[in-house]
Homo-oligomer: A and B are copies of this chain.
């Protein structure tokens, strides 16, 4: 089994992005699955081209995109990607879409094929906080999650794909009082646990468990 794991480069004034830093530190094998690591640009559309080329090259069974969600307290496997680009800030190429569809011929949204409840449970069992999230936002993170689902819908039907958001690193919140963070080691430990859950649940779907939100 092959799992392509991507991480974004830094954006929005930060000099570091924990996503790519964590991805680089993942083990090369998790429970027998080969982990292929890929840095992608924080740029609408361009990030999707990079992922598409890697899918063609490596033909992975799974794609897991990883991105920073500054302010979150936990690792958060994402449930759904939605067909909208609505940037609070411009991307690294200076492009800031405001409420545009990603693909006119795409679904309104796609649910992940990854076992998000199993991932969250495995991360917590590794001693790292985790919660299922129901929004990946409307910026580049949701964009790449949607784009990979769209590719799956149109071109690579055998791929299973999803997204995990991760918190800021401690060094990123030194000048952001009252904002949560997580150490790089713990992010790596949590992502590794999530990858383990993906491998173990292969072919079985997700757990049935209480992980929902009242809002």
A residues whose Cβ falls under 8 Å from a Cβ of B: 12, 67-74, 79-80, 82, 84, 86-89, 96, 98-99, 107-111, 117, 124, 127-131, 133-142, 165, 170-171, 173-183, 185-186, 206, 208-215
Point out which of A80, A129, A142 has the most chain B C-beta atoms below 10 A from its C-beta: A129
Contact partner of A109 (CB less than 8 A), chosen from B12, B82, B87, B89, is: B82
Q: A170-B129, A210-B88, A214-B12 are in contact. Are A135 and B135 (CB under 8 A)?
A: yes
Copies in the assembly, this chain = 4
Rounded to whole angstroms, the CA-CA distance of A80 and B90 in the bound complex is 23
State the Cβ distance, A119 to closest chain B Cβ, in Å: 14
Q: A134-B82, A134-B137, A170-B127 are in contact. Are A70 and B215 (CB under 8 A)?
A: yes
Contact call B108/A214, Cβ cutoff below 8 A: no
Contact call A138/B134, Cβ cutoff below 8 A: yes
State the Cβ distance, A65 to closest chain B Cβ, in Å: 12
Contact call B109/A73, Cβ cutoff below 8 A: no
Contacting residues, chain B, for A138 (C-beta < 8 A): 79, 134, 212-213
State the Cβ distance, A72 to closest chain B Cβ, in Å: 7
Contact call A88/B134, Cβ cutoff below 8 A: no
Q: A183-B186, A214-B12 are in contact. Are A170 and B139 (CB under 8 A)?
A: no
Contact partner of A87 (CB less than 8 A), chosen from B98, B136, B212, is: B212
